[in-house]
Amino acid sequence: MSTHTVIPIQSDAGSCDTSPLITTERGQREVFCGLTGIIWLHRKIQDAFFLVVGSRTCAHLIQSAAGVMIFAEPRFGTAIIDERDLAGLADCNDELDKVVDKLLLRRPDIRTLFLVGSCPSEVIKLDLSRAAERLSRRHNPAVRVLNYSGSGIETTFTQGEDACLNALVPVLPTLPSGSKPRLMIVGTLADIVEDQMRRLLTDMGIRDVDFFPPRNSTQLPEVGPDTVFLLAQPFLADTTLSLESRGAKRLSAPFPLGVEGTTAWLQAAARSFGIPPNTFDDVTRAPRQRAEVALARQRVHLSGKKIFFFPDSQLEIPLARFLQREMGMQLAEIGTPYLHRKLMAEELALLPAGARITEGQHVENQLDRCHAEAPDLVVCGLGLANPLEAQGIATKWAIELVFTPIQGYEQAADLAELFSRPLRRRIKLAA
Ligand code: SF4
């Protein structure tokens, strides 16, 4: 079963615009599940533990996605739901309580424990929110227990982060009304990127800045009507709604990818805090110019090349905007698992006329279109990358774009290089 609908965007004037052309399709999908988010979330929130309540498959996924280079005890694990649980022969809640007790006894450094739901826990309808409440009471005040779902049923892999942050929003402390306005940057950023962003914002005079998620779960930022927030990642639709329900206001901006995106993103904060344009220019000039020089070296490899995005990370639209506008690439098709029009409004406005966006996936049809386009580079999940490579098509794994620091001026050229490297490798192989 599949569906296919074409929806042209309406321009402000109400007339039918050709830019961009949005198609929705439904069918077989090739995406990772939300458990994958644990890999970057556990690195970021350094006193949290992520306990997947799932099957051996879930455990294998997490272990292989985390890689084999684990030198310290990892801060994630799996409570395996086995055949007895599935057959209803064991009380899953009792088993889970025992696993959690043992874990917390052995790991007194844990301050927040996330129970992460999976396909199996959803199938047997294990109520993890009640389990989290019960365990929170039991281990209070040393450990807070929260829950979210990382299941792969009808979700894509970056939704794991959205679900995790969304679970944290209700426990954020309240910013007293009438406080000085605070800026919250929402979405996991590598520590190095966070430090750069904080420095730029501080240098232009914005000092009351919080990052969410924080590096430490006991230092959750306050939120309230005096909070304005900027999304650092485009896949945080539910977290956005929850923050808004706590009174925070979102600043509309493109995402901080490339020089143009980073500048516009910082400008949104600067405007909101009344920073004079000349101060903004003084603070951003040097890193902006450095990034422009570094990008010029990458443009040589990318300009004129055609790129095709399969839907996976939800970063596809901002990436396409960066690669087309700053790197001179041609956009064949931009697949995205979901299109949050409000969150993407600023990005959509920057795409060229006629850019083709596909929301959702019918993988066979999309592969046919990909072959017909004969792109130079395809961005896709791991499951599609190997077959496409075998057919002589250069690919980039979408998941790498979430694992790598790519936001901000200093990372702009690294971001471009992630796309130029597979092209250069293919040229070398062909030589
Ligand atoms: S949550 Fe679902 S999709 Fe993800 S590894 Fe477990 S069973 Fe597979």
In angstroms, the CA 7 to CA 24 distance is 8
Q: Which of 61, 148, 382 to mutate to test the pocket of ligand 1 (most atoms within 8 A of CB)?
A: 61
pLDDT at 12 over 60: no
Question: Is the shortest distance between the CB of 357 and ligand 1 below 6 Å?
Answer: no
Distance of CA 94 to the CA centre of its chain: 34
In terms of pLDDT, which residue wins out, 428 or 398? 398
Containing 54, the helix (H) or strand (E) segment is strand 48-54
**pLDDT score for 1:** 39
pLDDT in tens, 166-182: 999 999 999 999 999 99
Question: Is the shortest distance between the CB of 23 and ligand 1 below 6 Å?
Answer: no
Distance from the alpha carbon of residue 151 to the mean position of ligand 1, in angstroms = 6
Report the mean per-residue pLDDT for the chain.
91
Pick the closest to residue 388 from 411, 366, 414, 367 (CA basis). 367
Q: Which of 38, 78, 151 to mutate to test the pocket of ligand 1 (most atoms within 8 A of CB)?
A: 151
Q: CATH for 182-281?
A: 3.40.50.1980
pLDDT at 217 over 80: yes
pLDDT band at 70 (very low <50, low <70, confident <90, very high): low
Distance from the alpha carbon of residue 118 to the mean position of ligand 1, in angstroms = 6
- On whether the CB atoms of residues 140 and 106 are closer than 8 A, the answer is no
- On whether the CB atoms of residues 430 and 393 are closer than 8 A, the answer is no
Q: Closest Cα to atom 5, ligand 1: which residue?
A: 58
What residues contact residue 198 under an 8 Å CB cut-off, 6+ apart? Answer: 209, 211
Q: Which of 51, 55, 62, 155 to mutate to test the pocket of ligand 1 (most atoms within 8 A of CB)?
A: 55
Superfamily covering domain 3-30+291-430 = Nitrogenase molybdenum iron protein domain (3.40.50.1980)
pLDDT band at 61 (very low <50, low <70, confident <90, very high): confident
Amino acid at the residue 325 = R
Closest atom of ligand 1 relative to the 62 alpha carbon: 5
Pick the closest to residue 30 from 360, 277, 316 (CA basis). 360
Closest atom of ligand 1 relative to the 54 alpha carbon: 6
Pick the closest to residue 118 from 55, 39, 49 (CA basis). 55
Q: CATH for 34-155?
A: 3.40.50.1980
pLDDT band at 89 (very low <50, low <70, confident <90, very high): low
What residues contact residue 360 under an 8 Å CB cut-off, 6+ apart? Answer: 24, 25, 26, 27, 29, 311, 337, 338
Residues forming CATH 3.40.50.1980 domain(s) in the chain:
3-30+291-430, 34-155, 182-281
pLDDT at 7 over 90: no
**pLDDT score for 123:** 85
Question: Is the shortest distance between the CB of 61 and ligand 1 below 6 Å?
Answer: yes
- On whether the CB atoms of residues 330 and 373 are closer than 8 A, the answer is no
Question: Is the shortest distance between the CB of 116 and ligand 1 below 6 Å?
Answer: no
pLDDT at 10 over 80: no
**pLDDT score for 153:** 78
pLDDT band at 31 (very low <50, low <70, confident <90, very high): confident
Percent of all residues in the chain with a pLDDT value above 90, rounded to a whole number: 77
Question: Is the shortest distance between the CB of 59 and ligand 1 below 6 Å?
Answer: no
Q: Closest Cα to atom 6, ligand 1: which residue?
A: 58
8 has which bridge partners? 21
Question: Is the shortest distance between the CB of 152 and ligand 1 below 6 Å?
Answer: yes
Closest atom of ligand 1 relative to the 120 alpha carbon: 7
Question: Is the shortest distance between the CB of 262 and ligand 1 below 6 Å?
Answer: no
Mean pLDDT of 376-404: 92
**pLDDT score for 125:** 87
Question: Is the shortest distance between the CB of 411 and ligand 1 below 6 Å?
Answer: no
Q: Closest Cα to atom 2, ligand 1: which residue?
A: 119
pLDDT in tens, 272-314: 999 999 999 999 999 999 999 999 999 999 999 999 999 999 9
Distance from the alpha carbon of residue 243 to the mean position of ligand 1, in angstroms = 28
- On whether the CB atoms of residues 79 and 102 are closer than 8 A, the answer is no
Question: Is the shortest distance between the CB of 33 and ligand 1 below 6 Å?
Answer: yes
pLDDT at 68 over 90: no
- On whether the CB atoms of residues 241 and 170 are closer than 8 A, the answer is no
Distance from the alpha carbon of residue 9 to the mean position of ligand 1, in angstroms = 35
pLDDT at 30 over 60: yes
Distance from the alpha carbon of residue 7 to the mean position of ligand 1, in angstroms = 32
- On whether the CB atoms of residues 104 and 177 are closer than 8 A, the answer is no
DSSP code at position 176: P
